Amino acid sequence: MSLNRVRRVVGGHRIGVNLQPHMVNIRRHGNFQCGGSLVTPRCVLTAAHCMQGEEHKPSDYVVRGGVSFLRDMRNARSVNRILLPSLYNHTTLDNDVALLQLQNPLQGLHIASIPLAMQAPLPGSLLRISGWGLTDERSLQLPNQLHSVRVQVLSQQKCQQLYQGYRNITDSMYCASVPGTKDACDADSGGPAVNADGQLVGIVSWGKANLCAHRDSPGVYTSVPNLYDWIADTMDRYCY
């Protein structure tokens, strides 16, 4: 697990899902697995590494939307199909994206799909991330309520410099955090990074194991604009 750390919201605050109505939680065999974003009523965008394992079948997974609390069991939808890009690499986490096709549309109160960003976020810009991940790297228990925090995008050069010798930062990735105070961390994987225009611009992907909000280990996000063509083409085929 040292390379595949799942992520948590550190330094954030509790929110209601009405403020992030695209936010869903993904469960495997009933246990919370990852966050995700509703991109059409029939499809959820998340991280590919959340779906790893040859033994994982679509029927293992359930998605819940319109809920602020993990204990809230409403609005469950079974997963019909897991779609991964052929270029996804589970070792390097390059192209770490997955689309989940739901058996039935996910609709209702505080449930809405989010548009995809086509432009990469500029260094220095702020993104909002949300999730049910641990709120402190020392915690052992997930928070029941959804948390959210704003983080700042780093330049690609700075991102590559910080992770030199640890893992290659590819074109499908970028870094964002508020060093020393705010970050994504364990169990936020697959969750959304949303820009100021309310568009989905990133997916929580990875970081250094057990180092959340540390100065030299910003959160790493899958770039939705970089993978826009695959996402849009796959959505056209399976999500409407």
Q: Which of 123-127, 171-175, 215-219 has the lowest mean pLDDT?
A: 215-219
Give the three-state DSSP class for 88: coil
Domain map of the chain by residue range?
21-113+227-238, 114-223
Mean pLDDT of the chain: 87
DSSP per residue, 155-215:
PHHHHHHHTTTT----TTEEEEEBTTTBB--TT-TT-EEE-TTS-EEEEEEE-STT--S-T
Domains 21-113+227-238 and 114-223 share a fold: yes
Strand-pair partners of 74: none
Identify the CATH number of the domain defined by range 21-113+227-238.
Answer: 2.40.10.10
Tens-digit pLDDT profile for residues 47-77: 999 997 667 799 999 999 999 999 999 999 9
pTM: 0.90
Question: Catalytic positions, please?
Answer: 49, 96, 189
Go through 1-32 and write b for each residue having 16 or more CB atoms within 10 A of its CB, e for each that does not.
Answer: eeeebbbbbbbbeebebeebbbbbbbbbeeee
pLDDT band of residue 6 (cuts 50, 70, 90) is very low
Superfamily of domain 114-223: Trypsin-like serine proteases (2.40.10.10)
Tens-digit pLDDT profile for residues 188-225: 789 999 999 999 999 999 987 655 645 677 889 999 99
Residue 70 C-alpha from the chain's centroid: 16
